[in-house]
């Protein structure tokens, strides 16, 4: 394990940060209710400040996106042209979305018509299966909605019938008394 006295963050050594962290943890353990209330207040304050803060200007956003190389300005001197090309290549690979699966490309390279036909058949069956599954899910949702509607109508009719029954019972009681 490294000696934490020699690790620094800015002008603070790791040992000082550890000491403050242990002090903060002790305070939280000693007064959890007060600290939680303060934390909630701080979070609400940050949200309020963020809501009131002006948005970045469009010109500023365009300028930042146009900065080349796409690294922190303090590190510009440490990056050469080859490294920048590598960074750009990695960025373009992140955005690459192939239109064919690697397996499909490999089978096409073999030029084996039978395998290509089987693969294309399987892909079509998967597409059809996906369409059928989506239709089934759509029908299931529609069925559940209709079932809920029927339940509501049934409940409404049940309530009406119960009210009629109560009224009829009252009328019968009155007629018996007369």
Model confidence band, residue 11 (pLDDT cutoffs 50, 70, 90): low
Query: Hey, what are 148's tokens?
Result: 């809920």
What tens digit of pLDDT does each residue of 16-56 get? 788 888 888 888 888 888 888 888 888 898 888 888 877 77
| Terminal alpha carbon distance of the chain | 99
Q: Is the pLDDT of residue 166 over 70?
A: yes
Find all residues with CB under 8 Å of 84, minimum gap 6, and list them: 68, 69
Q: Is the pLDDT of residue 170 over 70?
A: yes
What pLDDT score was predicted for residue 67? 66
Q: Is the peptide bond before 69 cis (omega within 30 degrees of 0)?
A: yes
DSSP 114-151: HHHHHHHHHHHHHHHHHHHHHHHHHHHHHHHHHHHHHH
Cβ atoms of 14 and 8 within 8 Å: the answer is: yes
Round the average pLDDT of the chain to a whole number and report it. 79
What pLDDT score was predicted for residue 115? 72
Give the separation between CA 39 and CA 35, rounded to whole angstroms.
6
Locate all alpha helices (DSSP H) within 67-112, ordered by sequence.
81-94, 102-110
DSSP 15-34: HHHHHHHHHHHHHHHH-HHH
What tens digit of pLDDT does each residue of 95-151 get? 666 655 656 666 666 677 777 777 778 878 888 988 999 999 999 999 999 999 999
DSSP assigned state of 99: S
Cβ atoms of 14 and 7 within 8 Å: the answer is: yes
Nearest to 71 by CA among 86, 82, 85, 87: 87
What pLDDT score was predicted for residue 144? 92
Q: Is the pLDDT of residue 62 over 70?
A: yes
Cβ atoms of 73 and 65 within 8 Å: the answer is: no
């Amino acid at each position: 394990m490294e000696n934490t006295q020699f690790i620094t963050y800015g002008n603070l050594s790791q040992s000082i940060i550890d000491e403050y962290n242990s002090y903060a943890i002790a305070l939280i353990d000693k007064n959890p209710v007060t600290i939680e209330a303060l934390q909630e207040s701080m979070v609400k304050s940050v949200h309020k400040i963020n809501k009131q803060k002006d948005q970045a200007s469009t010109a500023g956003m365009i300028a930042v996106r146009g900065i080349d190389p796409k690294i922190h300005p303090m590190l510009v001197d440490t990056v050469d042209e080859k490294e920048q090309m590598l960074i750009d290549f990695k960025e373009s690979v992140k955005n690459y979305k192939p239109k064919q699966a690697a397996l499909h490309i490999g089978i096409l390279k073999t030029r084996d018509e039978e395998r290509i036909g089987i693969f294309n058949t399987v892909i079509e069956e998967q597409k059809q299966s996906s369409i059928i599954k989506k239709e089934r899910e759509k029908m299931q949702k529609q069925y559940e909605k209709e079932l809920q509607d029927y339940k509501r109508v049934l409940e409404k009719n049940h309530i009406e019938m119960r009210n009629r029954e109560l009224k009829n019972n009252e009328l019968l009681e009155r007629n018996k008394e007369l």
